[in-house]
Structure formats: C-alpha cells, structure tokens
C-alpha cells in the first residue's frame, strides 16, 4: 500500500474516533455514577478507554433481526437485541435469556416461556409477552414479507403447517408458543441471533415495521448512528436489566481492504479486527498484537444452480467438481487456518459424517465428463469481501477454481459484487455457479442440512428441490436427538454429495486479531461477537 493511502486511512479513523468521543460526551470525563462512587471507581475508569473500535470488512445488510441473514449484521445485532434464550459462551448449549425458564409439553408441541420482569426496551417501553408475540407474529403469515429471509428457518410457515402454529399471551410475563408438530431444534432456534431476538413493538409502529436503520432491543448496547460505508456507533445501555457493559462506546468500523484493517490495528486506530487470513498473521504478531483462533462452525462452498441449463444434469455437476483439487486448493489459500471439507457439517458436530463420500479430484474424468455435457464456459458470480467462512474472499476462491477449470478446457466468466449487492443478485438466479457459505446458527444438524430444503433462494442458492431429501429433513425435525436422528442427517449428507449439489470446499477457523490492551474479546461458535464483556486499557 502506498504511503499516502496509509496516511489517509489513519486520518480517517482518527477523525471518526474523535467524532464518536464528542458525540457521546466521553473523552476524559467519567460517567456520573463513577464520579459519585469515590476514588476507587475514578481510578478504575482512568485505566480504561471509553471506546472499543472494531474493524470489519463490510457494512451490515441491516439491523432488524427479522430482515437480515448475514454475519456482518449479526455481529452488530447481538449487542443491541436479545432473545428469549441464549447460548452458553463456550458452546451452543441453551441458557435463559429474556425468559428465566421454560416448559415443554409432553407431546413436544407447546413451549411456555416465563419472562423476566422489569425489563425495558432501549426506547423506555416495557418488554412483555405482547412484545414476544409481536416479534414472532410479524414473521408468520399473513404478516411475513419477502424481506424476512430467516422467518421460515426459525419459525416455520403457517401456510405449510410447519413450525409455529400460534403465539398466545397467557399474562404479561408468560407466553405460550404452539407448534404444528414436535421440532427438536426449536429450543435452539429460539436462541438464534437471526429472526429470534425480541424487538420493540413501539419502534416497529414508529418505523413502519422496519428496524434496519432504527434498531431497538433490550440488549447491553443502544444504537446511536450509522454512516454507510464508514461506521456504526453504539452506546452502553445504562438501563440494561443485567450486568452493564464494561466499555461505554463501541464503534464498528468498515474497512474493505484486508491490509488496511491490519494497519488500523497495528497503528492503534482499531482495537480489534476480523476478516483476516494467513498472509497477515506474521505482520500482526510481529507488531505485538494478538490472534484469536478457534474451530469455526462453518462451511465454505460453491453451489451449482441446478435449474441452470448447464447444471440440471448431475453428471455435469460431478464432472465440474472432479476438475477441482480441493485439498490442494485449501492448503494453498488458507494455510493452517482452514481444513478441506469432507462433509457439509464441521467434524465436531453430530452426526460425525466421516463416512460421507464426496466427489474427488480426477482431471481426466472431468475432461471427459465436461466434454460429454458440452460445457465450454460457465458464468460464475461471487462476492468481494472476506467472510467468516472464507477469509480470502469470494473472488480469490473463484479465481482458484477458474484456474482448475481452465486446465480441463472450460472458461469461467467471473462477476464480482460487494456483499450487499451480491445478496440481491443471488436472489435473481442468473448464474451457473455461485459462491456462498454458512456460519452455523445453533449447533443443530438441521441448521446446516435444511439449507438444501429451504424455498428461499437467498438461503438455498443451489435452488435444489428434491422430494426424498425433503422427506428426510421433515423426519429429522421430529426425531429426538440420538443415533436414529444422526442416521437421518447422514443420509441427507450423502444424498447431497451423490447429487453434487455443492462443491464443499472448507471449514474455517475463526481468525481475528486484537490489541494486547483488549480483555474479554472472543468470537462465539456461531460467529457472533458479544462486546458487553470487552474492555480496553489505556
């Protein structure tokens, strides 16, 4: 990067930090509560910064949990909103959230949630059973809209008689959710950061049922501002019902270039960054900053559009997959920070699917199969920025596969889009192949395997529709956890592999970096970044 570019980035970040300090009334001043509590509190405040700056590669798509399905949005949303339940810090085991406890009927179709009392939304209105009903009902027929990609995933469909049948207010602090039939993943779904968080009914009314730019929840941070392409600013919710956040302000900084984010960290303009890859690790550690790594609950894949003329036939898809040496490519692109995928689900999730056989690299068979299918060129679309499941970004991955296909006589025409635009382009379906991935939401196999049964084209980007697969998914939903359920999802895995719906590429490790002055930073298995426990020393 040129020297003047570095100066511009540093100046930009510094100006933003000053703006945040001025807007929040922070700087070197202390909160009134600290000032009133004596010298001990004053001393503690003096050792900590009042702003935590986090740099990521792209803007969120939005800040309404019912209307987004991307990781960039989730990282912000999890600090503003809460759900009835939440995940344990170190796993996807479910714990109380806005509900203190819950009961499940003997037939598995009625869930009664007993809500915390005295909780307020950030707009000062009451959290209660009516708010829960409003948050869920807006995502069910007849109110659900096409802009709600996770609604059917989390709550099902009244028209299809899946998932939630009715939400009943028993009293202010008790809500009952009735399902059409038992669903084993439902408790974990309720803890998800997409669709499940409870939003302020008053805010929905005020902002015409869309909180993408006006988020109001019950969480530890309150939304302040969003400057598109630059930053989002959050401020501590001092009326939060639980333990207050340690840092007064959080700034999400959007810096597209990987190298620019690293400069922001090493220069002290950002306290933590994500979306990095192996090429910058030595630069980060050499500057004295720290790495956060953990096994990611992810899958990075290339999807065939099975409705495309070129890939309607399974043999054509198989031949294309045979052209790509996945283990070689993964090692080259990701070094030690991802492993080649032999399954859709990560190895630490049940069921363990090591016995699933994916299509393997066979250059000669690929040449023969592609020639037989008459495939000489393919239209690829991809995304530009890094993703939690793909640290090098979609274009780099697409170009690697383009190289393999060139070796067998096929031209791949790549079109690359920023993430927000890419999501819209994918919905239109004008491609032969696209690149996508998944960061697991809840640790349940249905959360991965249902992607190939979902009718939303922004989720099921392969546009796969198979009656036998659909029957397996429905069977898995109602089957209790155990060997029988594991067998069902293993069958799903093998069917997807046999039909070459996806070319599975890799399972990433969560990889981020942070200043040694930062405490309490982590990335959850689900890819979210809760910041209430984060502090930064001066």
Domain with 377 in it: what CATH number? 3.10.105.10
Alpha-carbon distance of 270 to 377, in angstroms, equals 43
Alpha-carbon distance of 346 to 447, in angstroms, equals 12
Residue 27: the pLDDT is 32
Q: What is the pLDDT of residues 227-263, one digit of tens each?
A: 999 999 999 999 999 999 999 999 999 999 889 999 9
Alpha-carbon distance of 321 to 361, in angstroms, equals 7
Domain boundary among 171, 206, 241: 206
Please list, residue by residue across 218-236, b when 16 or more beta carbons sit within 10 angstroms of its beta carbon and e when fewer do.
bbbbbbeebeeebbbbbbb
The answer on 519 and 500 residing in a single domain is no
Helix (H, G, I), strand (E, B) or coil at 176: strand
What six digits make up the tokens of 142? 């007849």
Residue 212 domain flag: no
Residue 420: the pLDDT is 87
Q: Tally DSSP H helices, then E strands, for the chain.
A: 18, 21
Residue 292: the pLDDT is 96
Alpha-carbon distance of 117 to 124, in angstroms, equals 14
The answer on 374 and 348 residing in a single domain is yes
58: left (phi over 0), alpha (psi -120 to 50) or beta: beta
Task: Tell me the torsion sign for CA atoms 98, 102, 108, 110.
Answer: negative
Task: Check which CATH number belongs to the domain holding 110 and give it.
Answer: 3.90.76.10
Residue 214 domain flag: no
Residue 201: the pLDDT is 98
Residue 241 domain flag: yes
Task: Check which CATH number belongs to the domain holding 255 and give it.
Answer: 3.40.190.10
Non-local CB neighbours of 40 within 8 Å, separated by 6+ positions: none
Residue 354: the pLDDT is 78
The answer on 464 and 323 residing in a single domain is yes
* Tokens 């028209």 sit on residue: 159
The answer on 185 and 50 residing in a single domain is no
Q: How far is CA 444 from CA 15, 41, 190, 480, in A?
A: 44, 43, 12, 12
Domain boundary among 206, 227, 248: 206
Residue 457 domain flag: yes
The answer on 144 and 283 residing in a single domain is no
Q: Which of 6, 505, 516, 54 minimizes the C-alpha distance to 276? A: 54
Q: What is the pLDDT of residues 271-316, one digit of tens each?
A: 999 988 889 999 999 999 999 999 899 999 999 999 999 999 999 9
Residue 193 domain flag: yes
- Give the chain's domain count: 3
Residue 41: the pLDDT is 41
The answer on 156 and 96 residing in a single domain is yes
* Cβ atoms 413, 380 nearer than 8 A: yes
The answer on 306 and 440 residing in a single domain is yes
Phi, psi (degrees; rounded to nearest 5) at 420: -65, -45
The answer on 353 and 280 residing in a single domain is no
Q: How far is CA 25 from CA 18, 20, 21, 51, 122, in A?
A: 11, 8, 6, 11, 19
The answer on 382 and 240 residing in a single domain is no
Domain boundary among 178, 206, 234: 206
The answer on 454 and 362 residing in a single domain is yes
* pLDDT tens for each residue of the chain, 538 residues long: 433 443 333 444 434 443 433 333 333 333 233 333 333 344 556 699 999 999 999 999 999 999 998 889 999 999 999 999 999 999 999 999 999 999 999 999 999 999 999 999 999 999 999 999 999 999 999 999 999 999 998 999 999 999 999 999 999 999 999 999 999 999 999 999 999 999 999 999 999 999 999 999 999 999 999 999 999 999 999 999 999 999 999 999 999 988 999 999 999 999 999 988 889 999 999 999 999 999 899 999 999 999 999 999 999 999 999 999 999 999 999 999 999 999 999 988 889 777 899 999 999 999 999 999 999 999 999 999 888 899 999 999 999 999 999 999 999 999 999 988 999 999 999 999 999 999 999 999 999 999 999 888 989 999 999 999 999 999 999 999 999 999 999 999 999 999 999 999 999 998 999 999 999 999 999 999 999 999 999 9
Residue 415: the pLDDT is 98
* Cβ atoms 483, 304 nearer than 8 A: no
The answer on 105 and 187 residing in a single domain is yes
Residue 179 domain flag: yes
Residue 226 domain flag: yes
Q: Which helix (H) or strand (E) holds 164?
A: strand 162-171
Helix (H, G, I), strand (E, B) or coil at 177: strand
What six digits make up the tokens of 226? 């969003």
What six digits make up the tokens of 243? 């333990």
73: containing domain: 3-78+219-289+515-536
Residue 44: the pLDDT is 58
The answer on 349 and 313 residing in a single domain is yes
Please, is 210 exposed, middle or buried when counting C-beta atoms within 10 Å of its C-beta (0-12, 13-18, 19+)?
middle
Residue 163: the pLDDT is 95
């Amino acid at each position: 990067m040129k020297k003047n570019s570095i100066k511009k980035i540093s100046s930009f970040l510094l100006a933003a930090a000053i703006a945040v300090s001025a807007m929040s009334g922070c700087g070197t001043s202390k909160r009134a509560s600290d000032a009133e509590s004596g010298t001990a509190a004053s001393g503690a405040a003096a050792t900590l910064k009042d702003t935590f700056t986090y740099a990521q590669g792209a803007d969120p798509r939005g800040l309404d949990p019912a209307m987004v399905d991307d990781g960039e949005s989730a990282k912000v949303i999890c600090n503003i909103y809460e759900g009835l339940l939440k995940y344990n810090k170190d796993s996807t085991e479910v714990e109380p959230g806005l509900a203190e406890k819950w009961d499940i009927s003997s037939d598995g179709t009625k869930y009664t949630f007993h809500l915390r009392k005295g909780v307020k939304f950030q707009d000062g209105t009451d959290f209660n059973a009516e708010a829960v009903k409003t948050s869920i009902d807006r995502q069910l027929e007849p109110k659900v809209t096409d802009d709600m990609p996770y609604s059917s995933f989390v709550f099902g469909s009244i028209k299809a008689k899946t998932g939630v049948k009715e939400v009943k207010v028993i009293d202010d602090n008790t809500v009952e959710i009735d399902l059409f039939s038992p669903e084993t993943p439902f408790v974990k779904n309720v803890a998800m950061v997409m669709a499940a968080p409870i939003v302020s009914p008053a805010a929905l009314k005020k902002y015409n049922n869309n909180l993408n730019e006006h988020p109001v929840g019950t969480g530890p941070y309150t939304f302040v501002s969003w400057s598109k392409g630059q930053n989002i600013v959050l401020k501590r919710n001092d009326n939060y019902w639980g333990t207050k956040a340690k840092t007064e302000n959080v700034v999400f900084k959007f810096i597209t270039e990987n190298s620019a984010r690293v400069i922001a960290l090493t220069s002290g303009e950002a306290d933590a960054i994500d979306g990095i890859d192996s090429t910058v690790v030595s630069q980060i550690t050499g500057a004295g900053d720290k790495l956060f790594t953990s096994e990611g609950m992810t899958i990075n894949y290339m999807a065939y559009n099975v409705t495309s003329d070129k890939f309607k036939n399974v043999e054509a898809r198989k031949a294309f997959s045979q052209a790509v040496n996945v283990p070689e490519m993964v090692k080259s692109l990701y070094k030690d920070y991802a492993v080649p995928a032999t399954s859709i689900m990560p190895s630490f999730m049940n069921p363990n699917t090591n016995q699933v056989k994916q299509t393997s690299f066979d250059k000669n068979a690929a040449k023969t199969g592609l020639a037989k299918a008459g495939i000489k060129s393919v239209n690829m679309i991809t995304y530009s920025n890094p993703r939690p499941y793909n640290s090098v970004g979609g274009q780099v991955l697409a170009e690697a596969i383009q190289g393999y296909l060139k070796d067998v006589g096929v031209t791949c025409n790549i079109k690359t889009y920023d993430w927000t635009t890419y999501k819209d382009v994918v919905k239109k379906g004008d491609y032969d192949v696209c690149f996508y991935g998944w960061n697991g939401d809840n640790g349940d196999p249905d959360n991965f395997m249902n992607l190939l049964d979902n009718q939303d084209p922004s989720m099921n980007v392969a546009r796969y529709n198979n009656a036998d697969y659909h029957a397996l998914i429905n069977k898995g939903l109602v089957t209790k956890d155990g060997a029988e359920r594991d067998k069902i999802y293993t069958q799903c895995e093998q069917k997807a592999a046999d039909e070459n719906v996806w070319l599975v590429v890799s399972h990433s490790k969560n990889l981020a970096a942070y200043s040694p002055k930062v405490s309490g930073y982590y990335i959850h298995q689900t890819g979210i970044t809760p910041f209430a426990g984060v502090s930064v020393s001066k």
